[in-house]
Structure 1
Amino acid sequence: MKLFRMTARLRPRSVRAKIVALLMLPIVSLMALWSFAAVTTVAAIGDTERAKDVNSELLAPVAEFVTALQAERTAAMRYAARRSETGLDELRADQQSTDDAVKALREGLNSSSSDAALIDTGLPDRLDTLEADFSGLATLRAETTGSGAKDAVTTGYTKYSTVIDHAFAVTGALTSEQGTDATSEARVVLELSRVRDAVAREQALLAAATASGTLGKEQYARFVGAVATQRELLKPAVADLKDEHRPAYEVLLKSDSYTTLAEVEDRVTDAGPGPVSAAVIQGWGSSSEAVLKGLREAETDAGTGAAAKADAFGWDTLGASGVAVVLGLVGVLLSLLVSVGVGRGLIVELLDLRNSALEVAGRRLPQAMRRLHAGQGVDIDAEAPMRRLAGDELAQVGTALTAVQRAALKAASERAELLSGISGVYVSLARRSQVLLHRQLDLLSVMERRQQEQQNHAELYDLYRVDYLATRMRRHSESLLILSGIAPGRGWRDPIALSDILRAAVAEIEDATRVQIWAAPRVSLTGGSVADVIHLLAELVENAAAFSPPSTKVELRAARLRDGILVEVEDSGFGMNEEAMADANRKIQSEKVDLLDAKQIGLIVVNRLAGRQGLRVELRQSTNGGVAAAVFIPENLIRDDMPAHHEASSDGLTPATASALIQQRRQ
């Protein structure tokens, strides 16, 4: 439930937001894919740059150190087997080369920007071991070439080879960062490095044997092992190289130097341990140097040299990912432009459609309705010209709205014509009824005067009752005129006292004796408002009497306020629920009334009268359980001067008083 509510809150509210979300979803997805390709490409560029840095700062110096140390090992073995000035000079020259390589490697380690632990978790320990080997070179040299050293050849060979193995361990850890597309696989290059070291070991062992004239059993075993390692690794490793790096090795394998090298290896192997004759090792020196040089050059081209030449922004690095990044960026931009264009056009069309609908609903249609209610004609074709059903769905929606507007105008026009006809019927019936009622009232007046002269009180009372009924009938006919929007013919020119107005209103209902009129303020109302106020109060008093028990009283009282007079009609009936009360007040206070509503026509009459005189009428719950109707008469209808003929107010309403009021209203 919480997830549903959160989703509902995040859901776009406006059409603009929904369209933007709908159009942005594929763009965001495309941008995510493009970002992934871009990040991958940038990572490849970074890997290439980092590999180049590792190659230049660490791998290349390590390879140079291994090459120098291999040469020093050969010279040290030769000098340890037979000491001579020439051998010592060669050894010192190789030692200087090794020292230079150590210095370059240390500078690379110090200037390297790569974290050794991030390259390989075991690399820091391997570098520490190699650093310890650097510090122990002096001791190693002393043990190998010192005048008192015993078994110098075996000891030197073992320790030099151990240092070289430590260097290869560092190389193996570093090759995890050497994986650029420009180089061959790091494993293959490392195997070829070990092939070159195997040849260098053969060279060192035979150099010692040549110098001493004898190849010992241990030296022979190591020589045979080096040969086996070299031959086992070389050809399979060459086959695994990239195509552009393989030719250099293939040329070397087919060269005379390598052929001679293999022949010497075979002769030494076949001869076994013991004295070394010149015939057995004939051609070894030049062939071994040439093979070592060729292996070194080919290894450099396939590994460190290729890495140094790698272009971080070249095709080998970027390749398809670079093309994907460029095409993806173009696709994102095109999608963004198309989406913005389509979305903006769609939003503009929707806004125009919304504005048009709001204009029709808020201005044009209400104005046309007001003209129709006022009895003016409306040209439907001019107000809502019909459009052809063409274009896209939005245009069709606009056409549908126009059709709805035309239907509403047509219905309102027909309703206005119907109301106009009904109003005409109301007026015709009311006029005819008024003529007959005036004649009836005149006849009743003659009969009342005759009975007064004869002092026949019983007959006179019955005539008064008939007079009440005729007066009510006349009020109902006047209601028809009021509903039709026509003012009744009756009226006063002079101000009338408020108390007389209250009595006159009570005199127009059947149960006038049930109404208790409380003392009214000594003020009068302007003559132009008297008829409407009497009629309005009569409707409210009659309604109160009709919807309350016959045994109860209806109270009519008035009070002077600062800005007008408040008249209240209160009954002790059964009351109204809140919904019925709100509906009645809406009918009384609404600016628009429905003449076709046959229910509570009296409230519609009250609405028309209150609107014409500027009165405010409201129904509310009474404190005794019934309904109280409050009528506020504004100050502009009130006069504080009392008419000279005004009689004293009373709480009751006698037949004589009622007759006097009726006679007064007939004037």
Structure 2
Amino acid sequence: MRVPLTAELLRPKSVRAKIVALLMLPIVSLMALWGFAAVTTASSIGDTERVKDVNAELLTPVAEFVTALQAERTAATRHAAAPDAASLETVEGAHKATDQAATAFRDGANTATADAELLDAGLPARIDRLEADARGLTALRARAEAGTDGKDPAQTSFTAYSTVIEHAFAVTGALTGENGTDAASEARVVLELARAREAVAQEQALLAAGSGAGKLTTEQYTLFAGAVATQRELLKPAVADLKPAHQAAYDAVLDSRSYDGLVAGEDRVRGAGPGASVISAGFLNDWDEAADTVLKGLAAAESDAGTGATAKANPFGWDTLGASGIAVILGLVGVLLSLLVSVGVGRGLIVELLDLRNNALEVAGRRLPQAMRRLHAGHDLDIDAEAPMRRLVGDELAQVGTALTAVQRAALKAASERAELQSGISGVYVSIARRSQVLLHRQLDLLHQLEQRPRDPAEVQELYQVDYLATRMRRHSESLLILSGIAPGRGWRDPIPLTDVLRAAVAEIEQPGRVQIWTVPRVSLHGGSVADVIHLLAELVENAASFSPPSAHVQLRAARLREGLLIEIEDSGFGMDEEAMAEANRKIQSENVDLLDAKQIGLFVVSRIAGRQGLSVELRSSASGGATAAVLIRENLIRDDMPVHDAALPGDQDRGQDGGRTLAPASALIPRQRG
């Protein structure tokens, strides 16, 4: 059954992740429940804090602004009805108090503007309207004093101020949804009580408006009767809906003598009807005194039941936290205990697994490769000291550790046996190569003597061919020595011109006539590196000739660079794909030579020579479709001669038999060795 891709991606990959996932699942579930309780509790605390902020920034300033407007409305209507110095002074004092309240309201509104839309979608517009009313108080007062549309100034003042107060109640009404803490009574009930207080203030303002004439007009009487009805319909029923702790202050007002005098005055005015002269100076003074006392008592009780209770609310008190706070604390204790137990169990298991993993990585990444390198270098290795076998008796993890040690010992034993085998093969290579060299040197000397004797030209050419074959056999014999890590016996004392080095390298391949040597820089190579460079170039040239068509030429170029001397061998064969090219370069650049790898032995020879002389060798694709071998000889192996302009060396000159041309002996193309 195939696992879905999503499940495969979500599945833990490491052992640590799997153990953590197994142990953390119940903890995460418990933490989710605890998080829900914590978020709920934090939300309650945040609501309480937000309500306190709303109360301090908006509700309290609006309530104080309304109270100031009510007092100014009464003073303005009284002065408009009966102007005198005392009433004017009262009006000016009311103006100052209202202006201060308006300033406080605007400051609070500016502070709460960012959160206004979050509290209620229509609240910003209501606040803007009330702020416009606060800024327009001067114009309102001017209209109230002059009157509008031929109306009585007292009536105009009453209407204008009442409109602003109604706008203020609209702002308060939008905020009642936020004023919902347990410490305060239901916000809507408090708003109804505020409207009842506004009705009493309207009654006082209307009687003040009629104080000049000693009676109420029909319009004023209608408004007065409506205010009385509103006050009586809202006040007592709303008080009954308050919390018992907040009812006492209202009950004290309702049971007071001042409230009884207020009610009696209301009944007297309503009973007289419109146009009746009932507002005498004595009546108005007594009624105003009772109304002022009632208004102050209602304002104090309203503050205690609404904004005052909210301001005293404790976000971290029992009323806010309650049982949810206990659940949060107990849940946190449970989560911590679960974490401690899970971490203790999981950590022990993870530590054991990590130790096992680290030991395995240590063996695979450091100890085993180091041991392999020592074996390849020919050093002895004590397997018991490198990987001591321990008989561990314990749980499954201990048994895995024992098995890992056994695998390590088996790998070291196999590598040791292979190293011994390669050492034996290397010894065989050296023995065979030494014997072959002796015979080949004797053969070359004999051939040289035969070539010097007068003979038929055809016989001389055949001797030359045998000379070339013997030269190639000597190179192969030297390759065995190089693979075994031993330098070949040939060497030069003096520097050898690069031209002779290139000719000697070409002379050691089977078909030297296929090689074209182009213009060669006027430089020489130090004698100690000549044999290795000749051998390396011969291997690369022969490789190029072997993997190109018999009729194609191999191009041999040399150029002087700032970094040294660059020699390029380019063939016109079928080239190599990227994988084969990368594998060949890997063998050339590898420090380890596997004598058991019979493929492309010449590349291993090139690798050994390049490493010994500090040469850089790289195979790459050529523009003609074949392959190019680039050899960079460092400055320390080169000596510059006097610069001259050499002509290009023809590829068939003294290189081999090509179209009937004369073949020169290989010994004539190889520089004379040191004595």
What amino acid is aligned across from residue 588 of structure 1 in structure 2?
Answer: I
Who is 1:60 aligned against?
67
Alignment of 1:216-295 (within 5 A): 231-241=232-242, 243-250=244-251, 292=291, 295=294
Contact 1:129 1:166 (8 Å CA) reproduced: no
2:49 matched residue in structure 1: 41
Q: What are the residue-to-residue correspondences of 1:406-555 with 2, within 5 Å? A: 415=415, 418-419=418-419, 421-432=421-432, 434-435=434-435, 438-439=438-439, 442=442, 465-466=465-466, 468-488=468-488, 490-492=489-491, 494-495=493-494, 498=497, 502=502, 504-515=504-515, 527-554=527-554
* Partner of residue 185 from structure 1, selected from 184, 187, 190: 190
Name the CA distance, whole Å, in 2 between partners of 1:131 and 1:457: 140
Residue identity matched to 1:491: R
Is the Cα–Cα contact under 8 Å of residues 198 and 230 in structure 1 kept in the other structure? no
1:80 match: none
Q: Residue 98 of structure 2 corresponds to which residue in structure 1?
A: 109
Question: In 1, are the aligned partners of 2:197 and 2:295 still within 8 Å (CA)?
Answer: no
Alpha carbons 2:516, 2:556 under 8 Å: kept: yes
Structure 1 residue 322 displacement after superposition? 8.9
CA–CA separation in structure 1 for the residues paired with 2:218 and 2:557: 142
In the superposition, relative to structure 1, how do residues 110 and 378 fare at CA in structure 2: closer, same or farther (>3 Å)?
farther
Structure 1 residue 609 displacement after superposition = 1.5
Q: 1:516 to 1:417 in 2, by over 3 A?
A: same
1:172 has 2:172 as partner = no
Question: Match of 1:298, as an amino acid?
Answer: G
Residue deviations 1:102-161 (CA, integer Å, cap 9, x gap): 222211233331349636278459956862476369x9xxx9xxxxxxxxxxx9xx9867
The one-letter code sitting in structure 2 at the alignment partner of 1:110 is D
Write the letter of the residue equivalent to 1:601.
I
How high is the TM-score relative to the length of structure 1? 0.58
- Determine which structure has more spread, i.e. the larger CA radius of gyration: 1
Cα distance in structure 1, aligned partners of 2:563 and 2:157: 115
Q: After alignment, is 475-484 or 37-46 more displaced? A: 37-46
The answer as to whether partners of 1:514 and 1:552 remain within 8 angstroms in 2 is yes
Change (3 A) 1:285 1:35: closer
C-alpha deviation, 1:267, in angstroms: 10
Distance in 2 between residues matched to 1:274 and 1:562, nearest whole Å: 122
2:118 equivalent to 1:118: no
Distance 1:617 1:200 in 2: 110
Q: How does 1:365-384 map to 2 (within 5 A)?
A: 371-376=374-379
Which letter maps to 1:480? L
CA 1:415 to 1:292, structure 2 compared with 1: closer, same or farther past 3 Å?
same
Query: Match of 2:609?
Result: 609
> Counterpart in 1 of 2:112?
none
Q: CA distance change for structure 1 residues 473 and 408 in 2, over 3 Å: closer, same or farther?
A: farther
Cα 1:408–1:271 shift into 2, 3 Å: same
Distance 1:363 1:99, change over 3 A: farther
Shift in CA distance, 606/106, structure 1 to aligned 2, threshold 3 Å: same
Find the aligned partners of 2:261 and 2:272 in 1 and give their Cα distance: 16
CA contact (8 A) 2:483 2:593 kept: no
Q: For residue 502 of structure 1, report the CA deviation from its aligned partner.
A: 4.8
Partner of 1:151: none
Instruction: Mark the runs of 5 or more structure 2 residues left unpaired by the alignment.
Output: 1-31, 110-126, 337-342, 344-350, 352-357, 642-651, 657-661
Counterpart secondary structure, 2:491: coil
TM-score where L is the length of structure 2 = 0.57
Shift of 1:482: 1.3
CA deviation after TM superposition for structure 1 residue 479, in Å: 1.6
Aligned counterpart in structure 2 of residue 135 of structure 1, from 142, 145, 167: 145
1: CA distance, partners of 2:564 / 2:421: 39
Q: Is the 8 A contact 2:433 2:481 kept in 1?
A: no
Q: Which residue of 2 aligns with 1:393?
A: none
The CA distance in 1 between the partners of 2:600 and 2:365, in whole Å, is 30
- Root mean square deviation of aligned Cα: 6.8
User: CA separation of 1:321/1:37 partners in 2, compared to 1, >3 Å: closer, same or farther?
Assistant: farther
8 Å contact kept, 1:468–1:507: yes
Supply the distance in 1 between the matched residues of 2:209 and 2:163 (Cα, whole angstroms).
Answer: 21
Going from structure 1 to structure 2, the CA distance change for 1:404 and 1:320 (only over 3 Å counts) comes to farther
In the alignment of these two chains, the number of paired residues is: 558
What is the deviation of 1:604?
Answer: 2.0
Q: 1:657 aligns with which of 659, 662, 665?
A: 665
**Other structure's SS at 2:654 match:** coil
1:546 deviates by 1.9
Q: Does 1:588 align with 2:593?
A: no
Classify the secondary structure of the residue corresponding to 1:550: coil
Q: Which amino acid aligns with 1:427?
A: G
Q: Which residue of 2 aligns with 1:281?
A: none
Q: 1:598: how far off?
A: 4.0
Deviations 1:297-332 (A, max 9, x none): 43232346878x9388532799799989xx9xx99x
What residue number does 1:146 align with? none
Return closer, same or farther for 1:438/1:665 CA change in 2, 3 Å cut-off: farther
CA shift for structure 1 position 246: 3.3
Q: Which amino acid aligns with 2:605?
A: V
Name the CA shift for 1:496/1:54 in 2 (closer, same or farther; >3 Å): closer
Does the CA-based 8 Å contact 1:507-1:662 persist in structure 2?
A: yes
Q: Which amino acid aligns with 2:53?
A: I
- Report the AA paired with residue 172 of structure 1: E
What displacement does 1:605 show?
A: 0.9
CA contact (8 A) 2:193 2:234 kept: no
Kindly state the Cα deviation for residue 553 of structure 1 after the two structures are TM-superposed.
Answer: 4.6
Q: How has the CA–CA distance of structure 1 residues 494 and 316 changed in structure 2, closer, same or farther, with 3 Å as cutoff?
A: closer
Please identify, of 544-553 and 179-188, the stretch whose mean Cα deviation from structure 2 is larger: 179-188
Q: Aligned partners of 2:92 and 2:289: how far apart in 1? A: 27
Shift of 1:602: 1.1
- CA spacing shift, 1:377–1:225, aligned 2, 3 Å: same
